[in-house]
Amino acid sequence: MFDIFMLMLSAILIENFIFSKFMGCCPFLGVSEKPDTALGMGCAVTFVMTLASAVTWGVYRYILVPFGLEYLKTIAFILVIAALVQFIEMFLKRFVPALYSALGIFLPLITTNCAVLGAALLNIQNEYSFIESVVYGFSAALGFTLAIVIFAGIRQRLVLANPPKSFSGFPLILIAAGLAAMAFAGFAGLSIS
């Protein structure tokens, strides 16, 4: 139980996917203009990443390993993720229209979000069990959501700033992200090892 808790803590705060592993930077910089959309994106990523971690673990363990096809994991995982995203989209559209209208526009973007494939690959690389994989996928996505929502708040303030001309726009956003990453580096003190 304690191990699982430490795994969650480290995935959310200490090794935050965005601020220390740099996975999922494209949506992080692209869809963080407003806290509402950022939260929507975060929820969609959490949903897909938890499911994808579970499914890719099963695919690797019960299909790729028995046939000695471990080297095909990248192709297999990206196809599984793309199919899963498509399936979730169809399922939500049919059965939970309210959730679909909230998350719908973000779902196609998730296929090319490297956080999802990254979590699936890290689960295999770290040799996690099924439970650990699902927990890791879920909590890494929570860390992603936390980071993107906090950053959307910061960006709303940045709009009002008046920086030098060459810094306006993207450079300023990157520097603000750097400062946020520095704050997150402080969580390194939490790790027990």
Partner 1 sequence: MKKGFFANHLKDGILYKNPILVQFIGMCPTLATTTSATNALAMGIAVTVVLAFSNLFISLLRKFIPSEVRIAGYIVIISAFVTVVEMVMHAYFVSLYSALGVFIPLIVVNCLILARAEAFASKNPPIPSLWDGICMGLGFTVALTLLGAIREILGAGSIFGFTFLPEIMHVSMLVLPAGAFIALGFLVAGMNKLMSKFAEKKEDGADV
Whole-number minimum distance, CB 182 to partner 1, in Å?
4
Site residues (CB under 8 A) for partner 1, limited to 111-150: 111-114, 117-118, 121-122, 125
Half-sphere exposure of 125 (CA within 13 A, CB side): 8
Could you tell me how many residues of this chain bind partner 1 (CB under 8 A)?
Answer: 42
Pick one of 11, 13, 23, 48: the residue that binds partner 1 (CB under 8 A).
23
Work out whether 167 is an interface residue with partner 1 (CB under 8 A): yes
With b for 16 or more beta-carbon neighbours within 10 A and e for fewer, the 8-45 pattern comes to bbbbbbbbbbbbbbebbbebbbebbeebeebebbbbbb
Whole-number minimum distance, CB 60 to partner 1, in Å?
13
Considering only CA atoms, which of 6, 5, 27 is closest in space to residue 149?
Answer: 27
Of 36-44, 55-63, 67-75, 134-142, the window that binds partner 1 (rule: CB under 8 A) is: 67-75
Angstrom CA distances, 176 to 11, 101, 180, stand at 22, 31, 6
Whole-number minimum distance, CB 122 to partner 1, in Å?
6
Work out whether 72 is an interface residue with partner 1 (CB under 8 A): yes
Whole-number minimum distance, CB 169 to partner 1, in Å?
8
d(CA 155, CA 143): 18
Residues forming contacts to partner 1 in the complex (CB under 8 A) are 19-26, 29, 71-75, 78-79, 82, 111-114, 117-118, 121-122, 125, 164-167, 170-175, 177-179, 181-182, 185
